[in-house]
Amino acid sequence: MLFIINYNYMEIIENTKEVMATIEIKCDYCGQKIKKGNVYNTTILKDENGKYVWENHISCDKIADKLNMFDHVIDEGLTSVEFIDNIEEEFSDLLGCDDEFSFLDKLKIVKEYYKLKHN
């Protein structure tokens, strides 16, 4: 799996692994907290600016996979913007409306629809 932040090719330095959060951090897909003590995914990547760490909820990875988000980003990887856009689109497809819901509500509803634990 490849990831992207500024639309440049990313090289995986260390493959994704599950670790336990020792401090509260932010999910690079949905932007929400990964609470201390929760297990999450971490990947070490490299671009032209150097190495960096991508951290995300396991459930965000699972919903991205379930919705085939990785199929369309073979060379560049999946951005947080694309992740959010995909969730918004899926929510709209499921319920036919979206004006009155926050992104977090939409994400929770989409994860629940696919029977994935919400963070």
**Residue 116's pLDDT is what?**
78
Question: What's the pLDDT band for 6 if we cut at 50, 70, 90?
Answer: very low
DSSP state of 71: G
The dihedrals phi and psi of 71, each to the nearest 5 degrees, come to -65, -25
What are the boundaries of each domain within the chain? Answer: 11-113
In CATH, what number does 11-113 get?
A: 3.30.1740
Strand 33-34 relative to strand 11-20: parallel, antiparallel, unpaired? unpaired
Kindly report whether the global pTM for this prediction surpasses the value 0.85: no
State pLDDT tens for residues 17-68: 999 999 999 999 999 999 999 999 999 888 778 888 999 999 999 999 999 9
* Residue 85, CA distances (Å) to 10, 66, 108 in order: 21, 15, 15
Overall size of the chain counted in residues: 119
**What is residue 46's three-state secondary structure?**
strand
**Residue 95's pLDDT is what?**
87
